A and B are shown apart, each in its own frame.
Chain A
Amino acid sequence: MSALSATAPTGRARPSLLRRTARAPLPLGRALATAGTVFLLSSLLTFGLGALSNANPAAAVLGETATPADIARLNHAFGLDRPLVVQYVSWLGHALTGDLGRSWFTTLPVSESVFHALPVDLSIAGLALLFAVVLGAFGGITAAWNNGGRWDRTVTALCSVVGTLPAFVVAIGLIAVVSVKLGWLPSGGWVPLGQDPAQWLRYAALPACALGLDAAANVARQLRASLVGELRANYVTGAAMRGLSARRVLFGHVLRNAAGPALTVLGMSVPMLIGGAVVTERIFNLPGIAQLSLQAAQQHDVPVIQGTLLVTVGVVLIANIAVNAGLLALDPAARRRSALGRAGRGGAGLSDGAGVSGVAGVVGEGVGSGPGTGAGAGGSAGAAGAGAA
């Protein structure tokens, strides 16, 4: 009998160890496969849109006086007289090696324009993410600590209000209050991060705030809910019975177990933040991807539109994979809990949906070439993705 109880732990540990090593790469592989498929499909869609638009650089550049011979010559120069399939394959091949072609109007390389515009959106999205983590964690933890109290109700109410407001409404509200009324921060303009970080922060703070508030509210709400649930668990009483202080129990024991769902919510919002940055950027008049693609759309500058769309899709997908990898790195704790039959494998599935919906939002924004429709499509697709997962 004593021998039995002695072998019990090793006997049980072995299969779980096996499962751990065997299962670990699968979710990431699935995420990569999904991302690859989505990228290919959206590149096809992007290229198809350009082809369907019937926009012709020769007509646009040469004006009304062009003879058919001139147009044919220019078409040949741009490679537009080849079959569409050949054009697509060569475009995608070049795109994957970093060559997105040249603008029909400025003849500047598209990749160069994108290279200058993208950091604007990425840095805003990054700052918004930081904002969401800090504010969300603070709100969630303090509300759970004050469970049922006045502060808890205040946070919950604020989260509900903020959660229903689209980013552009928050952005306009922030401009009206913080820059126009109080005059604390500029309502628009841009200084690159590499040039002057302090000035960058001044210009990026409001857009990031507008963008991250929604994610912060979601994180706070999720963290509060799981903390409150987790605080009722017996092991909290158990830890308290060891004489550990309430703060130590919260931060050392409860938070790590309750953080999973909040991190998943945060991970889901990363692609949305990048998509949303494009919208926010317009309102604050920043020289980012949205400005580039909007200008291109008005000029029927197809290579630029295609390039910006493809790059944005790529960035969102890369962010999605990074989120998946991050959640996976945090997963050992979740897997241990699932061994107890509690948590599932929701993390990877959830962010799959978010990735696709985020892309849908970005594509919608680009096609509609207006901030409003993009936000709508992204928002609803995101909600659908979350619901489906």
Chain B
Amino acid sequence: MRPSQRESAPEGAWESASAGVTEGVAGTAPGAGEPVLSVEGLRITVGAGRAEAVRDVSFTVRAGEAVGVVGESGSGKTLTCRSLLGVLPPGCAVSAGSARLAGTELTGLGRREWERLRGVRLAAVFQDPASYLNPALTVGRQLAEPLRVRLGLGRAQARARAVELFGSVGLHRPAEVYHRYPHELSGGMLQRVLIAIAVACDPQLLVADEATTALDTVVQAEVLALLARLRRERALALLLVTHDLAVVAEVTDRVLVFYAGQIVEDGPTAEVVRRPAHPYTAALLRVASAGDWHRRDLSVIPGRPPETGATPPGCRFADRCAFAQDRCRTQEVPLTAVVRAPGDAADDAADGARRVRCLRAAELAPALADVRIDPRGEARADARTPKEVPA
């Protein structure tokens, strides 16, 4: 058994990671996948309808495509994802808009309808994997249970399949891991276990909500490589939520930048990273390329985002923006298409579209373009191993 496990060891995964990155940066053949998830004008209220935390969010994720969602804490990225999974915290609700998972409307589903979708058509992995596993059951049992309940496998079949899945996510000695309790495994192994559980019933969409945030840098890279590999192998649509642009640059095809409950910029990751069109994206990139994002968060982008539910007229980033003018503060800023640089224009409209929520995007382009991020460069090398994530 050991030689075959060696092959799926992280050494191999490293290579597939870089393959994933090249593929991502070069752009997945546009339009290759059918849209798996399309979100239109999604609005989410918090505090039992008193404040709006997500405003008019629209995006699409295609089969086999990895879309990154970045933004600070409280920007609405996690709420957006949770609404797609039907696990919004108490007091939060989708107030408008639609989210369709390959033709199935997700907003307004009942409990039983969610139960039918979860696991089989959409799945999720979260930050702090240990807390998402039942401490009193072996991890193997927790993987075998959905196999038996959802796929109708027999006891022995489910067990064999579980061991196989544990092997496929790069866990060594999967047959032994099967009998381990969560507290007996490390954080990286637990995240692999959660990923194995998430892909067990072959979902169409995988939401990874800060899935690598609490892991140390090396393990983080391994898990990202694993996600990239699974996405390619299974044509999985991947929605990767993080506040770390370096992670997004590493594995995603497209990126959505959230700020104060809105999308402020979206487009192909490679382009956004090379030539950010929104001052906020540029600031995020500067933070990421300056080194450890976790330590420099607020020191690099001065000020703080508006309170949840506050609706200042005009651009919500204006108060923290170095380029803000009076008109930025008076009129609502729409999400508009970006005029693209000649080198980028090859993509077709459907997939390569870039949008930005900034009135001065066109004139600022040269000023913002000098920010660069090298996913494996300084950001990686300089990063400490963040044990805890600031709230």
- A residues contacting B by CB (< 8 A) are 1-2, 5-6, 8-10, 12-13, 16, 233-235, 237-246, 248, 252-253, 256-257, 333, 336-337, 339-340, 342
Contacts and interface: CB of A to CB of B under 8 A. Distances in A.
A240 B117 CA distance: 11
* Chain B residues touching A, range: 35 or more
A168 to B, nearest CB: 40
Contact of B180 (A13, A237, A246, A337): A13
Contacts of A2: 9-11, 172
Contact of B149 (A5, A237, A248, A256): A248
Given A9-B184, A13-B180, A245 B115 contact: yes
12 contacts: A2-B11, A2-B172, A5-B189, A6-B172, A234-B128, A240-B115, A242-B145, A242-B197, A243-B149, A244-B149, A245-B115, A246-B115
Given A242-B201, A257-B136, 8 more contacts: A13-B180, A238-B131, A238-B194, A243-B120, A253-B137, A256-B136, A336-B181, A340-B135
Given A2-B11, A234-B128, A243-B150, A8 B186 contact: yes
B218 interface: yes
Interface in B101-117: 111-112, 114-117
Contacts of B370: none
A-B pairs with lowest CB-CB distance, top 6: A243-B119, A238-B132, A6-B172, A234-B131, A243-B118, A242-B146
Contacts of A6: 172-173
A244 B11 contact: no
Interface string B191-224: 0001001101100000000000000001000000
B115 A237 contact: no
A237 to B, nearest CB: 5
Max chain A C-beta neighbours (<10 A), residue from B111, B123, B131, B183: B183
A336 B146 contact: no
A325 B112 CA distance: 41
A330 to B, nearest CB: 11
Quick one: which of B87, B173, B184 has the most chain A CB within 10 A? B184
A246 B126 contact: no
Contacts of B85: 241
A340 B133 contact: no
A9 B176 contact: yes
Contacts of B140: none
A336 B189 contact: no
A233, A234, A238 — most chain B CB neighbours (10 Å): A238
Given A1-B10, A243-B116, A246-B115, A16 B132 contact: no
Contacts of A242: 118-119, 123, 142, 145-146, 150, 197, 200-201
